[in-house]
A and B are shown apart, each in its own frame.
Chain A
């Protein structure tokens, strides 16, 4: 029997209502939510919040709800990076935070891998790619360091209840086409502010067929689409990944949407985004004359186990003609990739491996792109100067396409190599 008095709500509304202690919420209203989990990394985390907490003479509201992960300045490479990591290590001890993952990989990948996310949660992260958590039907979004301080002191945060934009993908992706292609396509189609800082929900048969790490890529790049969070309803795939019984969290069938876009996944070709915006995306064929000097497989959105496997499926029995760099996203994924032989395929193809962490993606670490270097990368952003010199040129693509390009020496459709 249906309850006629309760309004139909989207997944986003249901998650926000629970965190606000309400039976229902309406898009546009301002609510205060209780935070179930706050994640920080070394760059925007301890080094920024510690002095502010000291100024306030305040303590962390609930250390068991805080997770700290080092990823931006690891491996350390100079005095500054060593100092930043030392502050993180000292602070978690002082603040009594047990959930600390040091040099274990990128925060967005490590957080769910270590079982910190569950459907129904309301979470914040000190990083713009925090919508990644939405793949687990948790409301998760990125905030800055001062706002994180507010959460650490009060355990709460304000929110304007979002509208939901539904992206429905029927059918099935072709072999060689991935979640990254879906996102580059959507960002090209709707722009960097297409998400209007609302919730973007990914649905349809093609989405349900995706493994968790591919779903994470979708929700992660909701940041580039300009949404506050990206969400996917929980299902048996979510449950299998988390390896524990979960609740089902999903939108009511007739919940009002701000927009509903439908696509056939089978029509989608591999996408490439030209410098200097993820919104400059077009089908891979348009870029055949581009000859990158560097092929980079890295980042939370491009070097998880699922991504390394995509690259390996193309690179098996082949050699990279361009310089191929791989910065795996997590220690557990590296171990799994090693055990199943994926890592060996990448090594045999000539890949150089960088340390665990954000690598070149945000230009924070010891490795960056030099003047005028043309690169093709599995990362999420190619804004001017992000990965190094302002004159460097970064093309974004899926791990399949980056691997195929490394082999061909020019931008190449991976479907040609997967036949």
Chain B
């Protein structure tokens, strides 16, 4: 549940550099955030949270950017704001992208837990809380299903069995 704090405008070329795009997601993930945090891919733990400032995920439509973070076990992304295209991509993959106006107050390494019921991030040491905006209602079911692919699978199955 450790957090990795990054700055404003973290772009998709930095999250998943273009030269690895031809490979599998396993290989791409090994180079996740390589230009700015070379140790990230090898040290990130399942359940960790990545925190950005403004406009997290700026740049390309490559879905491998949120997919690599998810593949490495990142449980949620938190930012003051997300680039719109990246935001859609993350939720489509079932990776929660949480808009938190106080994101810049979160310290690197803080042990954060996500309380989806109350829309709060809770620092397990200091008990400090940070509110995030709930996931938009029209996307909630899709995120709960684990993303758009699983959601479509469920919908198509319902259609054929009904």
Collect the chain B residues with CB atoms within 8 Å of residue A145's CB.
63
In chain B, residues 57-114, which have Cβ atoms closer than 8 Å to a Cβ of chain A? 58-63, 81, 83-85, 88-89, 92-93
How many residue pairs between the two chains, A and B, have CB atoms under 8 Å in the bound complex? 127
Collect the chain B residues with CB atoms within 8 Å of residue A279's CB.
9
A384 with B83: CB separation less than 8 A = no
Chain A binding surface SS class = loop
Indicate whether B118 reaches chain A with its CB closer than 8 angstroms.
Answer: no
Indicate whether B122 reaches chain A with its CB closer than 8 angstroms.
Answer: no
A80 with B23: CB separation less than 8 A = yes
Q: Contact check: which of A127, A141, A364, A385 meets B22 at CB < 8 Å? A: A364
Total B residues in contact with A, Cβ cutoff 8 Å: 37
Collect the chain B residues with CB atoms within 8 Å of residue A364's CB.
18-19, 21-22
Indicate whether A143 reaches chain B with its CB closer than 8 angstroms.
Answer: yes
B84 with A44: CB separation less than 8 A = no
A48 with B63: CB separation less than 8 A = yes
Closest Cβ of chain A to B91, distance in Å, is 10
Closest Cβ of chain A to B30, distance in Å, is 15
Q: How far is the CA of A80 from the CA of B85 in the complex (A)?
A: 27
B63 with A192: CB separation less than 8 A = no
**Given contacts A43-B21, A56-B152, A385-B35, A362 and B60 within 8 Å (CB-CB):** yes
A52 with B61: CB separation less than 8 A = no
What mask results when residues 11 to 44 of chain B are scored 1 for a CB within 8 Å of chain A, else 0? 1011001110111000000000011100000000
Indicate whether B55 reaches chain A with its CB closer than 8 angstroms.
Answer: yes
Indicate whether A298 reaches chain B with its CB closer than 8 angstroms.
Answer: no
B92 with A80: CB separation less than 8 A = no
Collect the chain B residues with CB atoms within 8 Å of residue A385's CB.
13-14, 17, 34-35
Collect the chain A residues with CB atoms within 8 Å of residue B85's CB.
128, 141-144, 197, 228
Collect the chain A residues with CB atoms within 8 Å of residue B84's CB.
197, 226, 228
Indicate whether B148 reaches chain A with its CB closer than 8 angstroms.
Answer: yes
Closest Cβ of chain B to A140, distance in Å, is 13
Indicate whether A240 reaches chain B with its CB closer than 8 angstroms.
Answer: no
Indicate whether A390 reaches chain B with its CB closer than 8 angstroms.
Answer: yes
Closest Cβ of chain B to A87, distance in Å, is 12
Q: How far is the CA of A223 from the CA of B55 in the complex (A)?
A: 12
Q: Contact check: which of B19, B23, B35, B88 meets A384 at CB < 8 Å? A: B35
Indicate whether B140 reaches chain A with its CB closer than 8 angstroms.
Answer: no
Q: How far is the CA of A149 from the CA of B84 in the complex (A)?
A: 18
A142 with B61: CB separation less than 8 A = yes
Indicate whether B127 reaches chain A with its CB closer than 8 angstroms.
Answer: no
Closest Cβ of chain A to B14, distance in Å, is 6
A390 with B22: CB separation less than 8 A = no
In chain A, residues 136-164, which have Cβ atoms closer than 8 Å to a Cβ of chain B? 141-147, 149-150, 153-154, 158
What mask results when residues 360 to 386 of chain A are scored 1 for a CB within 8 Å of chain B, else 0? 001110001000000000000101111
Collect the chain B residues with CB atoms within 8 Å of residue A43's CB.
21, 62
B9 with A146: CB separation less than 8 A = no
Indicate whether A217 reaches chain B with its CB closer than 8 angstroms.
Answer: no
Indicate whether B153 reaches chain A with its CB closer than 8 angstroms.
Answer: yes
Collect the chain B residues with CB atoms within 8 Å of residue A158's CB.
138
Collect the chain A residues with CB atoms within 8 Å of residue B14's CB.
383-385
Indicate whether A62 reaches chain B with its CB closer than 8 angstroms.
Answer: no
Collect the chain B residues with CB atoms within 8 Å of residue A228's CB.
84-85
Closest Cβ of chain A to B77, distance in Å, is 15
Q: Contact check: which of A127, A150, A193 meets B58 at CB < 8 Å? A: A193
B61 with A149: CB separation less than 8 A = no
Residue of B nearest to A141 (CB): B85
B148 with A368: CB separation less than 8 A = no
Closest Cβ of chain A to B123, distance in Å, is 27
Residue of B nearest to A277 (CB): B9
B19 with A363: CB separation less than 8 A = yes
Closest Cβ of chain A to B17, distance in Å, is 5
Q: How far is the CA of A143 from the CA of B91 in the complex (A)?
A: 12
Q: Contact check: which of A56, A142, A192, A368 meets B9 at CB < 8 Å? A: A192
B13 with A44: CB separation less than 8 A = no
Indicate whether B156 reaches chain A with its CB closer than 8 angstroms.
Answer: yes
A368 with B35: CB separation less than 8 A = no
Residues of chain A touching chain B, judged by Cβ–Cβ distance below 8 Å, are 30, 43-44, 48, 52, 55-58, 72-73, 80-81, 84, 126-128, 130, 141-147, 149-150, 153-154, 158, 191-193, 197, 223, 226, 228, 277, 279, 362-364, 368, 381, 383-386, 388, 390
In the assembled complex, 13 residue pairs joining A and B whose CB atoms fall closer than 8 Å, in A order, are: A30-B136, A43-B21, A55-B153, A81-B22, A128-B85, A144-B62, A192-B83, A383-B13, A383-B14, A384-B11, A384-B13, A384-B35, A384-B36
Residues of chain B touching chain A, judged by Cβ–Cβ distance below 8 Å, are 9, 11, 13-14, 17-19, 21-23, 34-36, 54-55, 58-63, 81, 83-85, 88-89, 92-93, 136, 138, 147-149, 152-153, 156
